[in-house]
Amino acid sequence: MIASTSKPAHGVAIAALAATFSTTALSAPPADWSQIPVQTIKLFYPGQSSYDWLKSPAHKRADGKVKAGDSCISCHEGEEAEIGAKLVKGDRLEPAPIAGKQGVMDLQVQAAHDATNLYLRFQWKTQMDRAGQMHDYMMYDGEKWVFFGDARSEEKVRSGAEPPLYEDRLALMIDDGKVPLFKNQGCWLTCHNGMRDMPGEVGKEQVQAHALIGKTLKESDVRKYLPGTRSDDAASWDKTRSAEDIARLKAAGEFLELMQWRAHRSNPVGMADDGYVLEYRLSDEGKNPFSWNVDRKTMTPKFMFDARKVGAKAITLQDIGNASKPHAIIREENAVAYDAAAGWKKGDVLPGRLLSRADASGSAADNADVKGSWKDGMWTVVWTRKLDTGHPADDKALKPGSVVSVGFAVHDDNVTTRFHHVSFPMTLGIGAKGAISSTAVK
């Protein structure tokens, strides 16, 4: 519990206060975060520094050391700003730089825990002077609905034909010592050539034809995976081990926790998603809070805003970025079934994603208390995570007194895939000493 300076005079008052405090402390983040130490972490732009590149001779004389398992910071400690500045400009490992993008950013992290939960508080400044809360928007063009706006890396946004509209995100990877090398080499273990927006990006047909990634997982692109799930030294995307081998790795806990707070797809319902990385970047069992609000056969929205609740059935182009207008459709809060005959006008805009806290379920819905607010150019996200979610099949159980390895990433200013900022791996001690040490609050 956080020390309180108030000293009520009467025993009755003390008892009442203690009762109030213990209930709050058992189930809620610290009321006063100013009591919890702040760690400032440098996140930097990694460009296309894939694991393949790190193990190649182009990574000057370091390829052998990376293969041997040496940590990145054994050579790069304190170099985040320098590396970020070089890569973001396209001097190296970035064939398609985004003009004006910052190379490095500060992420402030605070951690606390009680017997039930881990509480994390994050703060970072956004490069853009508005919250990145818009994502997969659809616009009525006078005849039909079309997707509108996209990530800054897309040609239609680079050319100025459409506005940058892509949600801000905060991602957190955790390993409890089960994934070989994560402690030293962090998220780079999961980043390979062949993935989306990486060198040698594999085409849709090729992925769909692959027995595991295409036919079983039903995916059409390559996303993060762990080298241990591949059978060759290069950890090639298509050299997957057998389903039995992968199931054995999962049962042994050889996967990474990967959770993302999403400013459009989870924040409006007070959640973050919950996934893991093994043979692919996968969602935990159950249902996360977002799905499509688009009927792919008719290419029309499934829901529109409930005008009785938000004042209009849709927003308009002019409303984009206006904080007083709704930016997300939430099934149980502000949505009604789409009416094709509602008199749609050119420039009407509806989110192409449908959110629902009520429909989220299972292990995928574990991050049920994650709230971000954007003010004066800064996101503040307060994240409550059960130490033990009760879902060991796809979650890491965190124990007081233990130290885990963590990696952070922020997708800032309308970007996706590699265009994020990342941290070198570091330790988080839960009531134990780490680069970030969590403070016991009860």
Residue 386, classed as helix, strand or coil, is strand
**Of the candidates 25, 41, 72, 272, which one interacts with ligand HEC according to CB under 6 A?**
72
Residue 31 in contact with ligand HEC, rule: CB under 6 A: no
- Least separation in angstroms between CB 422 and ligand HEC: 9
CA distances from 387 to 119, 282, 303, 366 (A): 9, 21, 36, 11
The Cα–Cα gap between 237 and 338 comes to 41
Residue 86 in contact with ligand HEC, rule: CB under 6 A: yes
- Least separation in angstroms between CB 101 and ligand HEC: 16
Residue 209 in contact with ligand HEC, rule: CB under 6 A: no
Residue 158 in contact with ligand HEC, rule: CB under 6 A: no
- Least separation in angstroms between CB 424 and ligand HEC: 7
Residue 191 in contact with ligand HEC, rule: CB under 6 A: no
Nearer to ligand HEC, 62 or 213 (CB): 62
Nearer to ligand HEC, 172 or 272 (CB): 172
8 A C-beta contact, residue 259 and residue 367: yes
Residue 431, classed as helix, strand or coil, is coil
- Least separation in angstroms between CB 77 and ligand HEC: 10
Residue 92 in contact with ligand HEC, rule: CB under 6 A: yes
- Least separation in angstroms between CB 94 and ligand HEC: 10
8 A C-beta contact, residue 214 and residue 220: yes
Instruction: Pick the stretch among 74-82, 119-127, 208-216, 407-415 that binds ligand HEC (CB under 6 A).
Output: 74-82
Residues near ligand HEC (CB under 6 A), total: 19
- Least separation in angstroms between CB 71 and ligand HEC: 7
8 A C-beta contact, residue 430 and residue 113: yes
Nearer to ligand HEC, 66 or 382 (CB): 66
Residue 65 in contact with ligand HEC, rule: CB under 6 A: yes
DSSP 8-state code for residue 164 = B
8 A C-beta contact, residue 50 and residue 163: no
Residue 83 in contact with ligand HEC, rule: CB under 6 A: yes
**Of the candidates 122, 188, 276, 408, which one interacts with ligand HEC according to CB under 6 A?**
188
The Cα–Cα gap between 44 and 84 comes to 5
Structure tokens at 192: 């390979």
- Least separation in angstroms between CB 197 and ligand HEC: 16
Kindly compute the dihedral angle of the four CA atoms of residues 10, 14, 16, 19, in this order, to the nearest 10 degrees.
-170
8 A C-beta contact, residue 212 and residue 230: no
Closest Cα to residue 123, out of 437, 427, 408?
Answer: 408
Residue 198 in contact with ligand HEC, rule: CB under 6 A: no
- Least separation in angstroms between CB 57 and ligand HEC: 11
The Cα–Cα gap between 167 and 164 comes to 10
Question: Which residues 324-383 are close enough to bind ligand HEC by CB under 6 A?
Answer: none
The Cα–Cα gap between 59 and 93 comes to 11
x/- contact string, 34-53, with ligand HEC (CB under 6 A)?
------------x--x----
DSSP states along 275-298: EEESSSEEEPSSB-SEEE-EETTT
Binding residues for ligand HEC, rule: CB under 6 A, are 46, 49, 54, 59-62, 65-66, 70, 72, 74-76, 83, 86, 92, 185, 188
